Amino acid sequence: MSGASTTDAVTDAALARETKSDRTLHALIFVGLAMAVAIAPFLLYPVLVMKILCFALFALAFNLLLGYGGLLSFGHAAFFGMAGYVCAYAAKVWGLTPELAILCGTAVSALLGFVLGSLAIRRQGIYFAMITLALAQMIYFISLQAKFTGGEDGIQGVPRGKLFGLLDISSDLALYAVTAVIFFAGFLAIYRIIHSPFGQVLRAIRDNEPRMISLGYRVGRYKLIVFVLSATIAGLAGSTKALVFQLASLTDVHWAMSGEVVLVTLVGGMGTVFGPVAGAAVIVAMETYLAQFGASVMIMQGSVFVVCVMLFREGIVGRLARLFRVSL
């Protein structure tokens, strides 16, 4: 299977067909992952694991768009970061409860996804990527200049508050539980989207867009929907991260963050179900444990990326999937 007519970068291993046994395997991995997430805060620093979970969800959202929709967005930080600002603002200034603050951030991200997506999906390939980058840069400058974002300072000291006004989640472990629930809810939502009639159409468009048009599919609408879905979940991740760190800052809307999510997804395995989670774990752990080396982290990160792309183009999980001939 050479897959000559498909996007070159999407590898065959990542696209391997799923069978019933694969679904059972996925269920098992989900259970394993849930157990790992349950144990993790007792072995590792909870905030670190929460950071991984937020990035993993962000990358999962990005992978939905790139790996399954075939759309490379270079401006996903706009959703991640802007949702963070809105959530932080809602929690701090309006004094909303955390679940409502997260909802606000996510909703704004969805709306932003609709506006940016409507413009970007009119073009394909590199032009699509450039439009998303340009629009995201506009969001960055708005974040820098607008009053409510706090400019260079960002929004600091965001209260974690009481969930539903009842449960105090200011302790790391309590917040950890909330973050884990959000992560799995988002992950399962994406899993369902990929395995829905809509997901089937999405893959077919990725593989052969003109043919789908000739079959009467209005492909633009599918692209817009997946773009909005991806932006929404990216916003959910960004909002959660703002509560975890009690901070919303320019870092999260910066183009480097858009680049990082591409990196996380590619290292983990684009177009695989579990790749983004593995990618997030590797990249975040690397950034954290190598932080003592200062700016040279960038060099190490770059080297890892180059090695990854050279040695296993399909990413960690994509490589494993090919090795064991399963779909992950």
Partner 1 sequence: MEFRGFRAVGGVSLNVRRGTIHALIGPNGAGKTTLFNLLTKFLTPTAGTIFYKGEDITKVKPADVARRGLVRSFQISAVFPHFTVKENVRIALQRRLHGDSFDFWRSQRVLHALDAESLELVEAVGLLAFANVPAGQLSYGRKRALEIAATLALDPEVLLLDEPMAGMGHEDVERTAALIRRVSENRTILMVEHNLSVVAALSDRITVLTRGQILAEGDYATVSADPRVVEAYIGAGHA
Considering only 48, 114, 203, 259, the residue that binds partner 1 (CB under 8 A) is 203
Contacting residue, 86, 112, 155, 201, with partner 1 by CB under 8 A = 201
Nearer to partner 1, 13 or 257 (CB): 13
The whole-angstrom separation of Cα 74 and Cα 126 is 10
Contact pick of 21, 24, 156, 196 for partner 1 (by CB under 8 A):
196
CB of 181 to partner 1, least distance (A): 19
Q: Which stretch binds partner 1 (CB under 8 A): 152-160, 168-176, 209-217, 236-244?
A: 209-217
Residue of 114, 184, 217, 255 that binds partner 1 (CB under 8 A):
217
- Which bin fits 165, alpha (ψ -120 to 50), beta or left (φ > 0)? left
In the complex, least distance from residue 176 CB atom to partner 1, rounded to whole angstroms: 28
Query: Three-state SS across the chain?
Result: CCCCCCCCCCCHHHHCCCCHHHHHHHHHHHHHHHHHHHHHHHHCCHHHHHHHHHHHHHHHHHHHHHHHCCCCCCCCHHHHHHHHHHHHHHHHCCCCCHHHHHHHHHHHHHHHHHHHHHHHCCCCHHHHHHHHHHHHHHHHHHHHHCCCCCCCCCEECCCCCEECCCEECCCHHHHHHHHHHHHHHHHHHHHHHHCCHHHHHHHHHHHCHHHHHHCCCCHHHHHHHHHHHHHHHHHHHHHHHHHHHCEECHHHCCHHHHHHHHHHHHHHCCCCCCHHHHHHHHHHHHHHHCHHHCCHHHHHHHHHHHHHHHHCCCHHHHHHHHHCCCCC
Interface with partner 1 in residues 278-297 (CB under 8 A): none
**Part in contact with partner 1 (CB under 8 A); list of ranges 54-62, 139-147, 195-203, 292-300:** 195-203
Is 5 a residue that touches partner 1 (CB under 8 A)?
A: yes
Provide the minimum distance between the beta carbon of 69 and partner 1 in the complex, in angstroms, as a whole number.
Answer: 11
The interface region with partner 1, picked from 46-54, 126-134, 146-154, 201-209 by CB under 8 A, is 201-209
Q: Which residues between 164 and 193 bind partner 1 (CB under 8 A)?
A: 192-193
**Contact between 234 and partner 1 (CB under 8 A)?**
no
Contacts (CB under 8 A) with partner 1, residues 11-30: 12, 15, 17
Is residue 8 within the footprint of partner 1 (CB under 8 A)?
no
Q: How many residues bind partner 1 (CB under 8 A)?
A: 36
CB of 188 to partner 1, least distance (A): 11
Determine, following the binding rule CB under 8 A, whether residue 200 of this chain makes contact with partner 1. yes
Interatomic CA distance for residues 127 and 93, integer angstroms? 39
Q: Under the criterion CB under 8 A, does residue 195 sit at the interface with partner 1?
A: yes
Q: Which residues bind partner 1 (CB under 8 A)?
A: 1-6, 12, 15, 17, 192-193, 195-201, 203-204, 207-208, 210-219, 221-222, 225, 229
